[in-house]
Amino acid sequence: MQGSISYRQELGASVPAIGTLVFAEQKSLYYCCRKDINKPTLDQREISDKKFIVDIDDREGQCVYIDRTKNQITTRQYELAVHTNLLVEDAIPTFNWDIKTTTKTLGKYQVQLATTSFHGRQYEAWFAPELPLPLGPWKFGGLPGLILEVYDTKRLFLFEATAIDLPATVLTPVIAPTQGQLVAGWKAYCALTKTAEARMIKFAQSRPGVTMSISRAGSLEVVE
């Protein structure tokens, strides 16, 4: 079966956005922030003598692709310290869910609570047993029902389903992202970003009177 789920997502201080989960057979893709514009790849428009608007054509956006036939997850995300999109390939993460008896209603579905921790944060997820799909937004999955809502316990990050299309009436290709710098695994990603951030700080502080620090407190994943 093919399906499509829309989620409203709030990621820290970022402007709320709509993410989309599409899936078919053993593959799924969660994406947001795609820009498919009919104009040159890079469009710079001067709005003053010092400021520019830069519009970048990014058809893949920020996304998470999962191929269960290969036990592989590919995350595409922009990393400021590296100044490019990274393609982080790794094994599909295993979430150690603690399924509770607590239930509530979301829309027309009764959902059940489950909790877990992942990459430095504690999460609460609400899944729908009557939709027996082990899927969810972003990297979340592995529950006996589709995840309709998930958030961290500090309520800095939230994903909530806003539309469910099962089976899908509009078929969206479930294709792995290819545009970005390949990184082999989470540990390699952590090492790369730490090195890039240290280089950025060193360069900034090479100027007299300049001090700089980088905080990832607002990041969805806490770099180890």
pLDDT bucket at 218, cuts 50 / 70 / 90: low
Q: For the segment 105-144, what is each residue's pLDDT rounded down to a tens digit? A: 999 999 999 999 999 899 999 999 999 999 999 999 999 9
Beta bridge partners of 86: 77, 181
Distance CA 144, CA 136 (A): 11
Give the percent of the chain with pLDDT over 70. 87
Q: What is the mean pLDDT of the chain?
A: 87
Strand pairing category for 181-184 and 84-91: parallel
**Residue 50 scores a pLDDT above 70:** no
Domain range list for the chain: 2-40+54-185
Bin 107: left if φ > 0, else alpha if -120 < ψ < 50, else beta.
Answer: left
Which strand (E) or helix (H) includes residue 77?
strand 72-79
For the question of whether the overall pTM of this predicted structure is more than 0.95, the answer is: no
Under 8 Å between Cβ of 34 and 25: no
